[in-house]
């Protein structure tokens, strides 16, 4: 069982598999870096360690951003949206955020504009 405080856990609206999307943003520029997923335990670890921790849907395990890549996300604040179904994680990104080596996961994704 998670150690996430009840007052936070009760506000979360999770997907059927217990996850909440986390939009990750550079704290000082507002740049959107990536989208990841958190369950209660990942959120608890993020809030208590100050290191962004996510649930990998493809690997079925927790991962701390930067633990293997050397590009950590140092958490500045975490916010919950008004509906309780999306997290905003403001970080200080060290190095690149995307596994492809791009600064953000959205660098090569322009569809319009």
* 108 labelled ligand-binding: no
* 105 labelled ligand-binding: yes
Distance CA 2, CA 112 (A): 41
Q: Please name the residue ranges forming H helices in 5-112.
A: 6-9, 40-49
For residue 69, CA distances in Å to 41, 63, 66, 82, 113 come to 22, 11, 5, 33, 32
* 83 labelled ligand-binding: yes
Nearest in space to 26 (alpha carbons), one of 63, 69, 77: 77
* 85 labelled ligand-binding: yes
* φ, ψ at 75 (rounded to 5°): -75, 125
| Positions at the binding site | 81-83, 85, 98, 105
| Positions at the binding site for Zn(2+) | 82, 98, 105
| Positions at the binding site for Mg(2+) | 81, 83, 85
């Amino acid at each position: 069982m998670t150690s996430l405080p009840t007052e936070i856990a009760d506000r979360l609206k999770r997907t059927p598999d217990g996850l909440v999307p986390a939009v990750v943003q550079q704290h000082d520029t507002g740049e959107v870096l990536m989208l990841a997923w958190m369950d209660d335990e990942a959120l608890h670890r993020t809030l208590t360690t100050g290191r962004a921790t996510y649930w990998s849907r493809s690997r079925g395990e927790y991962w701390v951003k930067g633990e293997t890549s050397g590009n950590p996300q140092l958490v500045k604040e975490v916010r919950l949206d008004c509906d309780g179904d999306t997290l905003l994680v403001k970080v200080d990104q060290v190095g690149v955020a995307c596994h492809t080596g791009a600064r953000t996961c959205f660098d090569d994704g322009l569809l319009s504009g």
